[in-house]
Chains A and B, each alone.
Chain A
Amino acid sequence: MRPAWLPPAEEDLPVPVPANIDIGADCQIWSALAFLHYRSERPLGLRMGRNSVLWGVTMLDLGPQAELAIGDFSGMLEVTVTTNGSVTVGDFAIIGHHVVIAGGQAPLPPEDKVEPDVVPEPIDIGSGVFIAAGSIVLPGARIGDEAVVGAGTVVDGEVPPGATAFGNPYRVIER
């Protein structure tokens, strides 16, 4: 019998883990359910550096052209990523509970696409960024290094490095 302290065997995972991902040393993904709607056809749909985590109920609803790249030592807790574009997260980023990083206002799961996937503007989240609970990050968001995004903020544009963004529509306090 497999010892309880070992992660589950590949064949016991609830959802198959895709082949086109690159996960660095000491990363953790809490559940293979994260890949339930994953359908990226890029050479690497998901890249994670080292010691980064996707904890809690994560959803990676990545379209055929989608790429999610996460740096080193970044933590994403109960985050939903639903896009057909590119999302980059730097090192030492903390992205809080129930944050949604999305390619549109109301993106659809794979079986419901009525039109061919369009590629939305990329989303760039810098290093040392802190995005608090319930925020929504939309295409065109560029969140500079060490910026803070307050809880429940909707970001669809620039947040300068070190600044604090909050509200819906969002406002920025520069460092």
Chain B
Amino acid sequence: MSGELAEVTGGWDYGTLPPNIHLGEGCFIEMPDSFGGCRSTRDPAVTLGNRVRVYGWTRFNLEPAGCVEVGDDSVLVGAMLMGAERITIGARVVVSYFVTIADSDFHPRDPESRRRDSLALLPGGDPAQRAPLSTAPVVIDDDARIGIGAIVLKGVRIGAGAHVEAGSVITHDVPAGAYAAGNPARVSTMP
């Protein structure tokens, strides 16, 4: 296998990952790029259970204080995980293509604070001058299924076995076993 092909088929050396990324047994990570945006200084920053499968276009984009935990046998097909505090994903969860899961808004709501936040982040600014991020952990329980392109925002808990349908925007908790669909998402018991 050529080096170039190994970088997109999971055949690369997982030992090259930073030491605060902990993999269970039998994990598969298709592309090393998935961890290119991981700036977390915590240890563990990312914990994957056994046999977790991470396909290309999944991104662990973590702020310094962010961390992600994923349970056994879960499949991340193409999630954008934006973490500033904690994102917890249970066992046997499927997270589909182009899903976004964020545990913070990453910028202040108040316009004046937001201007100062921009100045701190943009060229010539000092990122240390940013306002503290407002965060709330996201929890996705066992056997949940997050459909294509869904967006799960901060502070949300998605109950065990719940189905989030394609394109949904989730701003409130979804009970175990329920279906959530639409923008904004509505929860029902029947698909």
Name the interface size band of chain A.
Answer: 20 to 34
Query: In the docked arrangement, what's the CA distance between A102 and B78, Å?
Result: 14
Query: B56 within 8 Å of A by Cβ?
Result: yes
Is A36 on the interface with B (CB-CB < 8 A)? yes
Residues B148 and A102 in contact, CB atoms below 8 Å apart: yes
* A136/B166 in contact, CB under 8 A: yes
Q: Which residues of A contact B168 (CB under 8 A)?
A: 168
B8 contacts which chain A residues (CB < 8 A)?
A: 14-15, 33, 36
Shortest distance between the CB of A48 and any CB in chain B (Å): 22
For A156, the closest partner residue in chain B by CB is B166
A100 touches B149 (CB 8 A): yes
Q: A136-B148, A154-B166 are in contact. Are A107 and B183 (CB under 8 A)?
A: no
Q: Which of B4, B53, B148 contacts A100 (CB 8 A)?
A: B148
Q: Is the CB of B53 within 8 A of A138?
A: no
Q: Is the CB of A168 within 8 A of B148?
A: no
Q: Is B49 an interface residue (CB 8 A)?
A: no
Q: Assess the A80–B183 pair: CB atoms within 8 A.
A: no
Asked if A115 is an interface residue, CB under 8 A from chain B, the answer is no
> Among the listed stretches B36-44, B94-102, B110-118, which one makes contact with chain A, having 4 or more residues with CB under 8 Å of it?
B94-102
Q: How far is the CA of A102 from the CA of B97 in the complex (A)?
A: 10
Q: Are B97 and A100 in contact (CB under 8 A)?
A: yes
A72 to B6, CA, bound (A): 35
Q: Is the CB of B166 within 8 A of A82?
A: no
**Chain A residues positioned under 8 Å from B98 (CB to CB):** 80, 98, 100
Q: Are B149 and A169 in contact (CB under 8 A)?
A: no
The residue in chain B whose Cβ has the minimal distance to the Cβ of A33 is B8
- Shortest beta-carbon distance from B154 to chain A in Å: 21
A174 and B151 alpha carbons, distance in the complex (Å): 29
Interface string of B1-41 (1 = CB under 8 A from A): 00011001100000000000000000010000000000000
For the complex, would chain A's binding face be called helix, strand, loop or mixed by DSSP majority?
loop
Bound together, the chains give a CA A31 to CA B43 distance in angstroms of 37
B-side contacts of A105, CB under 8 Å: 96, 145, 147-148, 163, 165-166
Give the CA-CA distance A172 to B183 in the complex, in Å.
Answer: 16
Contact with B along A13-35 (1 / 0, CB 8 A): 01100000000000000000100
Are B55 and A109 in contact (CB-based, < 8 A)? Answer: yes
Name the residue among B96, B98, B182 with the largest chain A CB count within 10 angstroms.
B96
Report the nearest B residue to A154, measured CB to CB: B167
With both chains docked as a complex, state the minimum distance between the C-beta of B17 and any C-beta of chain A, in angstroms: 20
Known: A100-B98, A152-B183. A112 touches B148 (CB 8 A): no
Cβ contact of A108, chosen from B94, B147, B183, cutoff 8 A = B94
Q: Could you list some 23 contacts between A and B, CB below 8 A?
A: A14-B8, A15-B8, A33-B8, A98-B98, A100-B98, A105-B147, A105-B165, A106-B95, A107-B96, A108-B75, A108-B77, A108-B94, A111-B53, A112-B53, A112-B75, A134-B149, A136-B149, A136-B166, A138-B166, A152-B167, A154-B165, A168-B182, A169-B181
Q: A106-B145, A111-B28, A168-B182 are in contact. List 7 more A-B contacts (CB 8 A).
A: A33-B8, A100-B148, A102-B97, A109-B75, A109-B77, A136-B166, A154-B165
Chain A residues at the B interface, C-beta cutoff of 8 Å = 14-15, 33, 36, 80, 82, 98, 100, 102, 105-109, 111-112, 134, 136, 138, 152-154, 167-169
